[in-house]
């Protein structure tokens, strides 16, 4: 792979047919605009530092930053690496820093940006290559909080389904909307400063199952959530909830978990017969 | 990994934060008036001394000052860490001991003010 | 493919300049300096009160002066900012589910603001200010 070229590379320069500018625009004469991107690049085989590279591509005005990146990849620089899949804010793959804000590239509308758009890989995660980050730390933490239903009592299938009222569903519904995009980790300064922190999304998913009327696994999850590295590393900055594209509120989940963990502590240590250690 | 004993410091922090929010602004306002030379009647020696001497006033004064001190100490500890001061154990010890000492002093002063 | 991920360190002393929301968070945390200093003043006040009439009246006199007024204004801004951020946070820490639906967050925070106004008014009334 050639090293990143300095200066601006534009679709017009690279297009094999001279001035014909490739555009992902739909037919129907939508307005187009030249988008200037400043993309952080890192090649693990040759680089020791990451550096910015400028691109200019023509995109439909109603497009998103992911469209601009796809246009760069298709017609300017096929070596650019980034993750994406659904293009509709469901899969959570295309999280990146756009002008310093953790965003899904498919959910960052070009009309909201003027001038050069700076695109960087998600903060707080190691850069694998260009805009691709290594999610290993988050994946490992996610497993530790057991984000799955641990039934209170197992019963045979012919005993029927586990029933739940709408009110019981509402208690955890918003927390089940997490798409594991890790924007909250990129927004959380405490995770950046103290990487051992279990972090917003994983703890919020623990809370989601703790709040489920069918679940009996809270005691097991507390072994991780109620440690120093769990909820107690959170100082309620609130950035996680501000950047969440799925409108989950991790800051709320973590404060509720702190209160519940404090009540646990009082029961365990101050109330006689409260299962104290 | 053992469960954390953080609730010991966090619970009084949360209680103190609530006390600060509800009561400290208006108390600051009262002493600000005094600082401006308009001492509110309630800050006069006789009425305040009577309040501090009463069995209702003592726990209120102690509760407000002790919890606010603790809450500020805890938040200051986190702030020091956020500013990059990584000697957390030392910072925490100094601040918590200071808050406890202040609370102890207030308790002693209050006990020295019997009802008139 | 061999992996050689680039780890980027977060500066422990200047991270909060990276985004305005971090500065907002830090200003909330910094209120503790002024509130804490004011609490120390309260400890001194209780000591002066316990020391008798002369000591207390001397304390009230000592409160006067531009430095004291400036300190009080800073403490007032800090305490009010603390209160506002605290009440805004209550809806996150203590959401309230009634039937199926959760009470809108601003109702919970709003109730705290109302209680704050009532309590502050009560204290001002008892202190003879209003």
Query: What is the model's pLDDT at position A258?
Result: 97
d(CA C76, CA B61): 19
HEC letters along B18-44: HHHHHHHHHHHHHHHHHHCCCCCHHHC
- What b/e sequence results for A140-163 when a residue is b if at least 16 CB atoms lie within 10 Å of its CB, and e otherwise? ebbebbbbeebeeeeeeeeeeeee
d(CA A197, CA A126): 16
CATH of the domain at A169: 1.10.1060.10
Domain for residue A276, yes or no? no
Place of tokens 């799925």: A246
d(CA A254, CA A231): 6
Q: Does A191 share its domain with A224?
A: yes
Helices (H), chain C: 20-50, 53-63, 66-93, 105-126
d(CA C36, CA A141): 37
Query: Is C17 part of the contact surface with chain A (CB cutoff 8 Å)?
Result: no
A1: pLDDT confidence band, cut at 50, 70 and 90? very low
- Those residues whose C-beta lies under 8 Å from the C-beta of residue A194, and which sit 6 or more positions away, are A233
Question: What is the rounded average pLDDT of the residues A230-257?
Answer: 97
- Those residues whose C-beta lies under 8 Å from the C-beta of residue C44, and which sit 6 or more positions away, are C59
A153: pLDDT confidence band, cut at 50, 70 and 90? confident
The token duo for A118 is 């700076």
Of the candidates A133, A153, A184, which is a domain's last residue? A133
A4: pLDDT confidence band, cut at 50, 70 and 90? very low
Query: Is B85 part of the contact surface with chain A (CB cutoff 8 Å)?
Result: no
In tens, the pLDDT along A62-110 reads 999 999 999 999 999 999 999 999 999 999 999 999 999 999 999 999 9
Indicate yes or no: CB of C99 within 8 angstroms of CB of A42.
no
Question: What is the rounded average pLDDT of the residues A182-198?
Answer: 97
Question: What is the rounded average pLDDT of the residues B12-40?
Answer: 98
Place of tokens 């739909």: A26
> What ipTM did this prediction achieve?
0.96
Q: Give DSSP secondary structure letters for chain B.
A: -PPP-THHHHHHHHHHHHHHHHHHHHHHHHHHHHHTT---GGGSHHHHHHHHHSTTHHHHHHHHHHHHHHHHHHHHHHHHHHTT---HHHHHHHHHHHHHHHHHHHHHHHHT----
Which residue ranges form the domains of chain B, and what is each CATH number? 9-111 (1.20.1300.10)
Domain for residue A35, yes or no? yes
Query: What is the model's pLDDT at position A18?
Result: 36
Indicate yes or no: CB of A226 within 8 angstroms of CB of B4.
yes
- Those residues whose C-beta lies under 8 Å from the C-beta of residue C19, and which sit 6 or more positions away, are A100, A101, A239
Q: Give the chains touching B; criterion: ≥3 Cβ pairs < 8 Å.
A: A, C
Closest CB from B3, B14, B78 relative to A235:
B78
Contact status, residue A35 vs residue A76, Cβ threshold 8 Å: no
CATH architecture of C10-93: Up-down Bundle (1.20)
Q: Does A93 share its domain with A140?
A: no
Of the candidates A81, A112, A133, which is a domain's last residue? A133
Domain for residue A2, yes or no? no
Give me the domain span that covers residue A96: 8-133
Indicate yes or no: CB of A262 within 8 angstroms of CB of B11.
yes
Gap from B10 CA to chain A (nearest CA, Å):
8
A14: pLDDT confidence band, cut at 50, 70 and 90? very low
Closest CB from A42, A126, A252 relative to C95:
A252
Query: What is the model's pLDDT at position A68?
Result: 98
Cβ-Cβ contacts under 8 Å, C10 against chain A: 123-124, 189, 192-193
Q: Does A20 share its domain with A57?
A: yes
Cβ-Cβ contacts under 8 Å, C100 against chain A: 166-167, 170
The token duo for A90 is 């469901």
pLDDT tops 60 at residue A192: yes
Q: Does A192 share its domain with A68?
A: no
Contact status, residue C24 vs residue B77, Cβ threshold 8 Å: no
Gap from B18 CA to chain A (nearest CA, Å):
14
Of the candidates A84, A108, A133, which is a domain's last residue? A133
In tens, the pLDDT along C87-126 reads 999 999 999 999 999 999 999 999 999 999 999 999 999 9
Place of tokens 């925070």: C109
CATH of the domain at A23: 3.10.20.30
Q: Which has the closest alpha carbon to B41: C62, C127, C60?
A: C127
Closest CB from A126, A239, A259 relative to C93:
A259
Indicate yes or no: CB of A47 within 8 angstroms of CB of C6.
yes
A155: pLDDT confidence band, cut at 50, 70 and 90? confident
Q: Does A46 share its domain with A171?
A: no
Strand A95-98 vs strand A117-121: parallel, antiparallel, or unpaired? antiparallel
Q: Does A32 share its domain with A56?
A: yes
Query: What is the model's pLDDT at position A142?
Result: 97
Name the residue of chain C whose CA is nearest to A44's CA: C4
pTM: 0.91
How many domains are there within chain A? Answer: 2
Q: Does A70 share its domain with A19?
A: yes
Gap from B2 CA to chain A (nearest CA, Å):
6
Name the residue of chain C whose CA is nearest to A122's CA: C8
Q: Does A27 share its domain with A104?
A: yes
| A251, burial (CB in 10 Å: exposed 0-12, middle 13-18, buried 19+) | buried
Indicate yes or no: CB of C83 within 8 angstroms of CB of B106.
no
Strand, helix or coil at C95? coil
Gap from A167 CA to chain B (nearest CA, Å):
29
Provide the terminal-to-terminal Cα distance of chain B, rounded to the nearest Å: 55
Q: Compute the 3-state secondary structure of chain A and give helix, strand, coil in percent, each to the nearest 5.
A: 35, 15, 45
Q: Where are the domains of chain C?
A: 10-93, 95-130
pLDDT tops 80 at residue C32: yes
The pLDDT mean for chain B works out to 96
Gap from C84 CA to chain A (nearest CA, Å):
15
Domain for residue A1, yes or no? no
Closest CB from C7, C19, C97 relative to A171:
C97
Length of chain C: 130
Strand, helix or coil at A146? coil
Domain for residue A275, yes or no? no
Q: Which has the closest alpha carbon to A23: A105, A81, A96, A110?
A: A110
The token duo for C10 is 């977060």
The pair phi, psi for residue B43, each rounded to 5°, is -95, 5
d(CA C112, CA A191): 31
Domain for residue A195, yes or no? yes
pLDDT tops 70 at residue A25: no
How many CB atoms neighbour CB B23 within 10 A?
21
CA distances from A114 to A35, A40, A41, A63, A166 (A): 9, 19, 22, 13, 44
In the stretch 171-200 of chain A, residues with CB closer than 8 A to chain B read: 189, 193
- Those residues whose C-beta lies under 8 Å from the C-beta of residue A273, and which sit 6 or more positions away, are none
């Amino acid at each position: 792979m050639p090293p990143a070229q300095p200066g601006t590379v534009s679709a017009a320069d690279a297009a094999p047919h001279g001035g014909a500018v490739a555009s992902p625009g739909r037919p129907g004469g939508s307005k187009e605009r030249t988008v200037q991107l400043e993309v952080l690049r890192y090649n693990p085989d040759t680089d020791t530092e990451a550096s910015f590279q400028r691109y200019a591509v023509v995109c439909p005005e109603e497009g998103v930053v992911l469209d601009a990146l796809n246009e760069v990849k298709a017609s300017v620089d096929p070596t650019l690496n980034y993750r994406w899949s659904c293009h509709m804010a469901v899969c959570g793959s295309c999280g990146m820093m756009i002008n310093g804000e953790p965003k899904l590239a498919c959910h960052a509308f070009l009309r909201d940006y003027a001038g050069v758009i700076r695109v960087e890989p998600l903060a707080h995660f190691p850069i694998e290559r260009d805009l691709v980050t290594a999610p290993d730390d988050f994946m490992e933490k996610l497993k530790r909080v057991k984000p799955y239903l641990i039934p209170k009592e197992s019963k045979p299938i012919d005993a029927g389904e586990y029933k739940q009222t709408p009110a019981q569903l509402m208690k955890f519904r918003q927390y089940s909307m997490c798409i594991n995009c890790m924007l909250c980790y990129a927004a959380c300064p405490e995770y950046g400063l103290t990487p051992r922190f279990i972090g917003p999304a994983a703890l919020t998913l623990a809370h989601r199952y703790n709040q489920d009327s069918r679940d009996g696994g809270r005691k097991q999850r507390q072994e991780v959530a109620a440690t120093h590295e769990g909820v107690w590393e959170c100082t309620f900055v609130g950035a996680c909830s501000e950047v969440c594209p799925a409108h989950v509120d991790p800051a709320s989940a973590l404060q509720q978990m702190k209160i519940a963990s404090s009540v646990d502590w009082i029961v365990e240590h101050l109330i006689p017969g409260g299962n104290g250690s | 990994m053992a469960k954390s004993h953080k609730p010991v410091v966090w619970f009084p922090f949360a209680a103190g934060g609530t006390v600060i929010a509800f009561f400290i602004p208006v108390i600051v306002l009262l002493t600000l008036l005094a600082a401006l030379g308009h001492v509110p009647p309630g800050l006069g020696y006789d009425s305040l001394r009577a309040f501090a001497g009463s069995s209702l006033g003592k726990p209120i004064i102690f509760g407000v000052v002790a919890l606010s001190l603790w809450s500020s100490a805890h938040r200051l500890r986190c702030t020091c860490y956020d500013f990059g001061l990584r000697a957390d154990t030392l910072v925490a010890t100094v601040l918590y001991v200071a808050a406890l000492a202040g609370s102890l002093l207030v308790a002693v002063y209050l006990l020295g003010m019997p009802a008139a | 493919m061999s992996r050689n991920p680039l780890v980027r360190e977060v500066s422990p002393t200047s991270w909060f300049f990276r985004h305005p929301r971090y500065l907002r968070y830090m200003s909330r945390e910094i209120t503790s300096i002024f509130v804490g200093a004011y609490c120390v003043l309260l400890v001194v006040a209780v000591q002066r009160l316990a020391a008798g009439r002369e000591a207390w009246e001397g304390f009230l006199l000592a409160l006067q002066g531009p430095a004291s007024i400036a300190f009080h204004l800073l403490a007032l801004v800090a305490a009010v900012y603390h209160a506002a951020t605290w009440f805004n946070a209550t809806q996150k820490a203590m959401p309230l589910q009634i039937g199926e639906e959760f009470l809108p967050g601003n109702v919970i925070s709003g109730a705290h603001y109302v209680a704050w106004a009532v309590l502050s008014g009560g204290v001002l009334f008892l202190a003879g200010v209003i």
